[in-house]
Structure 1
Amino acid sequence: MSAAARSRDVTAAVLGLWLVALSFLSAGDMGGRQPRGRVSVLASWTGAEGDAFRRMLNTFTQRTGIRVDYQGTTALREVLRSEVEAETPPDIAVLPSPGEVAGYADAGDMVRLDRTIPERTLQQYGPLWKPTLRGGGAVYGVAIKADLKSIVWHDRNRRPSALPALAADGRQWCVGMGGDATAGWPGTDWIEDILLQQQGKNVYQAWATGGLPWTDRRVTRAWRAWGSLFGTDTARTALITDFREAGGKLFGPNPPCALEHQGSFIRGGYARPADADFAFSAGLIPETDARSTVREVSGDFATMFRDTPQARQLIRYLASADAQQGWAENTAEAHTRPFSANSTVPLDAQGDDGVARRIARALKNSGALCLDASDAMPTRMRLAFQRAVLAYLSDTRKDPIGLLRILEKVRKSLRADRGQPWLSRVCG
């Protein structure tokens, strides 16, 4: 054999070895499985949260051989809307509000989940974690992540007995309304929680599902109670402060504010999460009874836009207790773990974090929970609510009744529009 021929044989052998090696490397994240199709997922989690979610998706790939194309974006609503309108939606999207789930489901853009997720799995979720449209029992979204909202954060070194006096002083609240395109939503949380703690579940649910006028005296009372808490300086500071920055002022030797009314997710944004503790908001926010045990919550709902075998496998996996427990346990040690709405996920999923375990325990009491009202409302109602909050904070000396009359016009318009669905219930 000539030298040239031997050289060609050696080159071919080396290339063959490289191809074999590359095939093993490419299958490494699937545990040696051959690819068995792909599935696309869109959600809002980026950064450390996105990394933790990807690890859960990688476990799915290792078990099934199905590759997952994950896109995390803080502009989820805009991205999803454009993709749906272009008729190129993701297979699965995780939406941060049940109201959006209702809108897409009513428009016929979504696939029913109660025909894909086993009934025994769906039974592990309370009714508010698998919301249905008014007049129907079909399930289009299941909460794969949950957060507790009726809480007030403070430095763990503060005595609980000191909190009521601090709460009565509007200057002691760390408040930020900024939130990019959704500015104002922290204010909607305040008003929702005040109404829930003042009036209870029945009144709250009637309002959140479009059955109670915004001008009702009980809704008006909640707005006035919130407005009476803040002085002009605090209100104006809130308008120019991003919600992600407000709570950073809680800690340190001479903090300018002592309390933050914010959901459980915010703890992950604190520089030192271990320094943060919480108390339930009842009795601390204006004109509420400390004996109240009802809590406001929020969820991230897994939905399916394209019915493929791969999407069906993944949606069943995402809803399972096994996946959600693994998601929490495999979150990097330096970061807070996600909370589950699945009743069978054990408290052990939160490790030895006592604060997180208290939150997880509260989320299991589904009979005393109500979904975030603005999240449950049609998009136009929610956006009008957010704008009204900002307008009210610009001058809390004015009575809010004028703003509430405007919101009531929006509610009546949406109630008359069959293309704007409301949820049938928001409380467990």
Structure 2
Amino acid sequence: MRGRAVRVLVAACLLALAALTGGCAGGPAHRTVVVLGPWTGAEGAAFEDALQRLSAGRGDRYVYKGTRSLRETLVAQLEAGAPPDVAILNSIGELTEYAADGKLEPLSPRAAERAYPPWSPTLMLDGRRRTYWVPLRVNLKSLVWSKRATPPGPPNWCVAMAAQATSGWPGTDWIEDILLHQAGPDTYTRWATGRLDWYRDPAVRRAFTTWAQLLGPRSTRSVEQSLTMSYEGTPDPAHPDDPRRGLLGGSLPGCTHEHQGSFIRYLYPGAAGEALRVEPSARYLRGQAAYKDTYEVSGDMAAVLTHNPAAQDLVKLLTSESGRAGWSRAAPEELRPFFPDASDPQPGDATGQAIASYLTRDADTLCFDASDVMPPVLRDAFYRAVLTYFQDPRPGTLDTLLSQLETVRSEIAGTPSGRSGPVRVPDDICAPPGSQGDPP
């Protein structure tokens, strides 16, 4: 009887295992991987299509959930004990906090093969230095867009600061880019990683005041419009199926130049995109000649949050040549992703070719977006300070704001601490283009 009971128990376990894996004895194990990411609309559809292409070749099932409220959604899922298998985040500061709290799995050597700096700095945790995320898609921030037909003369800058839960980042992008080109990568790195005094260091103050000087005097109505308008612009009544039009597409009549990253071209498809010119921002920012070939970049990085081995496999697939090619084919030209060591612009895509050249060949140094390196509490304070300064750029206002930001910086000291102990924010956030990181 006892042997029979054991056989029944083993059979029941095998049946349960078959149900979980979707297979049977001798058959393939079909695994499900849930991916949480920032892309919705056409961007999300293109990424889902790429996942389906990968799934068809393997039999695993990939479920993508896109949201514009990524941090809030992920925090809620972590608190509920139901995280996604893979999360795609653009903040090194957030990723560092999750790793310090034991929420991230170290990437396997195969999954970490494309851990390119400055997007994938390693972390020292539990006495070991390992890779916890890799970039899937990257963007170039140090760009200025303008209409090709714009007559010569000083720029009339397009500025819109609203962005749902993270309003203010279009302004911090300005400050970061200016500081990088005025003070250089070393000072930029110390500032981004919490080792520079916001109030006392002249580089930070100079970046703020230079921004105000570049924008010039603005009316109360203009300031209010910029603070309340989305960086995507306003709906185009002539095209109800296209929810947004960019700032250069008529949302802010009269403006001629926009400081914005490479991702913004999704707002200018087809002929609208062909009518625009894209240039490095250095020539506009009153920086030093020594730093004109230094560029600020951002990225969407994939991290694994569960023990599901299929999640590690998917990260490897997404960064593979076939994964990249499938994603590029699935996306329209204006949504085609750029990659950290090579891009895939199609013949005739002059804008894509130019951006790819800056990312992979023309730059001396690439530096990761400073606010996305900062711990979230300091980043969010930076966003709010920029919004306040935009409204009131007087010296006294700047003194108060920089003092408040320095208080936040000194309190957190740039060192998240969690279940795995103190973790220093990575300081290798600047690197030559196309360089390969250390193996995990």
Q: TM-score, normalised by structure 2?
A: 0.81
Report the counterpart of residue 17 of structure 1 in structure 2: none
- Structure 1 Cα separation of the partners of residues 347 and 78 of structure 2: 39
Report the counterpart of residue 202 of structure 2 in structure 1: 217
- Structure 2 Cα separation of the partners of residues 416 and 310 of structure 1: 33
Report the counterpart of residue 337 of structure 2 in structure 1: 338
- Structure 2 Cα separation of the partners of residues 417 and 376 of structure 1: 12
Q: CA deviation at 1:289?
A: 4.2
Report the counterpart of residue 374 of structure 1 in structure 2: 371
* Worse-superposed segment, 99-108 or 379-388: 99-108
1:232 partnered with 2:226: no
Q: 1:276 to 1:137 in 2, by over 3 A?
A: farther
Q: CA deviation at 1:277?
A: 1.8
- Structure 1 Cα separation of the partners of residues 256 and 117 of structure 2: 36
| One-letter identity of the residue aligned with 1:378 | P
Q: 1:134 to 1:256 in 2, by over 3 A?
A: farther
Task: Write out aligned runs for 1:106-255 (5 A).
Answer: 106-117=100-111, 121-122=113-114, 125-133=115-123, 137-158=129-150, 162=152, 165-167=153-155, 172-215=156-199, 216-230=201-215, 231-233=217-219, 234-245=222-233, 248-251=246-249, 255=253
Q: CA deviation at 1:398?
A: 3.5
SS in 2 for 1:283: helix
- Structure 2 Cα separation of the partners of residues 152 and 418 of structure 1: 34
CA contact (8 A) 2:124 2:130 kept: no
| One-letter identity of the residue aligned with 2:133 | G
Report the counterpart of residue 322 of structure 2 in structure 1: 322
SS in 2 for 1:245: coil
- Structure 2 Cα separation of the partners of residues 211 and 205 of structure 1: 8
- Structure 1 Cα separation of the partners of residues 47 and 35 of structure 2: 11
- Structure 2 Cα separation of the partners of residues 141 and 37 of structure 1: 21
- Structure 2 Cα separation of the partners of residues 79 and 321 of structure 1: 30
| One-letter identity of the residue aligned with 2:94 | E
1:386 partnered with 2:371: no
CA contact (8 A) 1:103 1:421 kept: no
Q: CA deviation at 1:126?
A: 3.0
- Structure 1, unaligned stretches of length 5 or more? 1-26, 28-32
SS in 2 for 1:404: helix
- Structure 2 Cα separation of the partners of residues 179 and 385 of structure 1: 15
Q: CA deviation at 1:227?
A: 1.8
Selected match of 1:354 from 337, 344, 350:
350
- Structure 1 Cα separation of the partners of residues 229 and 275 of structure 2: 22
Q: CA deviation at 1:93?
A: 0.6
Identity rate, percent: 39
- Structure 1 Cα separation of the partners of residues 360 and 267 of structure 2: 24
- Structure 2 Cα separation of the partners of residues 68 and 249 of structure 1: 35
CA contact (8 A) 1:41 1:69 kept: yes
Q: 1:349 to 1:153 in 2, by over 3 A?
A: closer
Selected match of 1:364 from 357, 360, 363:
360
CA contact (8 A) 1:116 1:316 kept: yes
Report the counterpart of residue 423 of structure 1 in structure 2: 426
| One-letter identity of the residue aligned with 1:377 | M
CA contact (8 A) 2:31 2:60 kept: yes
Q: CA deviation at 1:138?
A: 1.3
* Worse-superposed segment, 185-194 or 407-416: 407-416
Q: 1:350 to 1:96 in 2, by over 3 A?
A: farther
SS in 2 for 1:301: strand
SS in 2 for 1:41: strand
Q: Deviations over 1:170-220 (max 9, x none)?
A: xx1000010111111110000000000111111101111111111211111
Task: Write out aligned runs for 1:297-312 (5 A).
Answer: 297-312=297-312
- Structure 2 Cα separation of the partners of residues 217 and 291 of structure 1: 18
- Structure 1 Cα separation of the partners of residues 283 and 50 of structure 2: 39
CA contact (8 A) 1:134 1:424 kept: no
Larger radius of gyration: 1
Q: Deviations over 1:3-58 (max 9, x none)?
A: xxxxxxxxxxxxxxxxxxxxxxxx9xxxxx96612111000111111111011101
Q: Deviations over 1:337-386 (max 9, x none)?
A: 11111x2x4x4444430111111121124751000000111000100000
- Structure 1 Cα separation of the partners of residues 311 and 249 of structure 2: 44
Q: Deviations over 1:261-306 (max 9, x none)?
A: 0001111013622222211111212455497100000000000001
Report the counterpart of residue 292 of structure 2 in structure 1: 292
1:402 partnered with 2:400: yes
The structure in which a higher percent of residues are helix is 1
Q: 1:45 to 1:414 in 2, by over 3 A?
A: same
Q: TM-score, normalised by structure 1?
A: 0.83
CA RMSD between the two structures: 2.4
Report the counterpart of residue 102 of structure 1 in structure 2: 96
CA contact (8 A) 1:329 1:351 kept: no
CA contact (8 A) 2:375 2:416 kept: no
SS in 1 for 2:277: strand
SS in 2 for 1:226: helix
How many aligned positions are there? 380
Report the counterpart of residue 269 of structure 1 in structure 2: 267
